[in-house]
Amino acid sequence: MNCSWENKIECCVETAEQTLDPCTDYIYGTNISLAKNNCAEKGGVRSRDVRGHYRCACKTGYHGHLCEQQTDHCISMPCKNGASCTSSGPYFSCKCKPGYRGDYCEESYITCDQGAVCHNDGTCKPTDDGYVCDCKPNYAGTHCEKQHEHCETVTCLPHGECFNLTDLGTFKCYCQSDYTGRLCNSRIAKTTATPGETAPQEVDQNFLIIMAVCAGLICLTVAAFVYMRMKQKRIGIESQYCSSRAEVSTRSTKRTNSATGYSKATSAWAYIKSRAGKKRSASQQSSRTYEYSNVTRR
C-alpha cells in the first residue's frame, strides 16, 4: 500500500488511542491536513478526536471539516404557523404572519378592534404585535383575569397581620401594640421612668388633659362673662324703662293732686264765703231788729 502524503486517506488506519503517527495530522477519513490548513478562519479551534487525529471544533452556526460551512438553522423549520425563517450565523429569526407572535410565532392573538377582551374593567391598548390589557388596581394577568392579593407577596409577620383592601387596591398591616410601621417592623421604644418621674408618654397625656381642662374653663368663663354682660344690659334697659314710667306716673299724680288741691281750695273758699255771708246776714238782721225795737219803744 502506498502511504505517500498525497494518499494518506488510504493508509490512515483507525486506532483506539492517540498516537504520534503522521497520519494523525490529517482529519480522519480525509486527505485534509490540519498541519497545512487553518480551521480557525470561521472561529474554529484545532483539537484532537478520541483517535488522536486532528479535527476542527466549530463554533455555533458553522460546520464542516474546516468550519467553512454556515449552519442553516431554518432547516429544522423552527418558525411556526407559516412564519418565514431567516438564518444568520449562530442566530435565526422568525417573521410572524398577522395574528401570531412570539419568538417562534407560536402564540395567536387578536387585536383590540377584533374584540380582544380585558376583564375586570381593564383597558385594551394596541401594540405592534397585538395588544396589552391595562388592568385596574388589584388585578393582573394577560387579560386582567387575576385578582392581585397583596398579602400573598407582602408580609406583616411576625408582629402584625396583613389585610387586603380590595376596593383601594392596596393592603394594611395591623400591628401588635408595641410595634408600628407600614410592615409592623418598627418596635416602639419603651422608656423607663425613675422614681418620682413620669414617663414621657404619661407626661404628654397629662399635658393634653390639662390643656383640655384649661380650654374648657376658658370657654366657660367667656360664656359666663358674655351672659352677665347681656343680663346687665337687659337689666339696665328694664331699669330705664321703669324709671321712665315712674317719672310719667309721678308727673300725672302731681298734676292730679294739683288739680284736686285747687278744687278743694275753691270749695273751701266758697264754703268760707258762704259762712261769712250767712253771719253778715244774721248780724244785719239782728241790727235791724234792734233798731226796730228802739223805734217802737219810742
pLDDT in tens, 70-84: 777 788 888 999 999
Sequence-distant (6+) residues with CB within 8 A of 61 are 70, 71, 73, 89, 90, 91
Number of domains in the chain: 4
Residues 80, 43 within the same domain: no
Given a cut of 80, whether residue 101 has pLDDT beyond it is: yes
Residues 59, 11 within the same domain: yes
Residues 9, 65 within the same domain: yes
Is 58 within the bounds of a domain?
A: yes
- How would residue 6 be classed by pLDDT, with cut points 50, 70 and 90? very low
Average pLDDT of the segment spanning 176-188:
90
Q: In this structure, what C-alpha cell is assigned to residue 279?
A: 253771719
Residue 28 and residue 53 in contact, taking contact as beta carbons nearer than 8 Å:
yes
Look up the domain containing 93 and give its range. 72-108
- How would residue 115 be classed by pLDDT, with cut points 50, 70 and 90? confident
Is 211 within the bounds of a domain?
A: no
Output the domain CATH number for residue 63.
Answer: 2.10.25.10
Residues 64, 77 within the same domain: no
Residues 9, 36 within the same domain: yes
pLDDT in tens, 48-69: 666 666 677 777 777 776 677 7
Handedness of CA 276, 279, 285, 290 (dihedral sign): negative
Is 129 within the bounds of a domain?
A: yes
From 168, 187, 206, the end of a domain falls on 187
Give the angle 263-265-268 at the CA atoms, nearest 5°. 110
Residues 48, 97 within the same domain: no
Report d(CA 152, CA 169) in Å as an integer: 13
Residues 50, 64 within the same domain: yes
Higher model confidence: residue 57 or residue 41?
Answer: 57
Residues 22, 64 within the same domain: yes
pLDDT in tens, 122-145: 999 988 777 889 998 778 888 898
Share of the chain above pLDDT 70, in %: 54
Share of the chain above pLDDT 90, in %: 8
Is 197 within the bounds of a domain?
A: no
Give this prediction's pTM.
0.28
Is 25 within the bounds of a domain?
A: yes
Higher model confidence: residue 155 or residue 192?
Answer: 155
From 137, 168, 187, the end of a domain falls on 187
- Residue at 183: amino acid letter: L
Is 259 within the bounds of a domain?
A: no
Is 227 within the bounds of a domain?
A: no
Residues 87, 103 within the same domain: yes
Residues 101, 60 within the same domain: no
Is 142 within the bounds of a domain?
A: yes
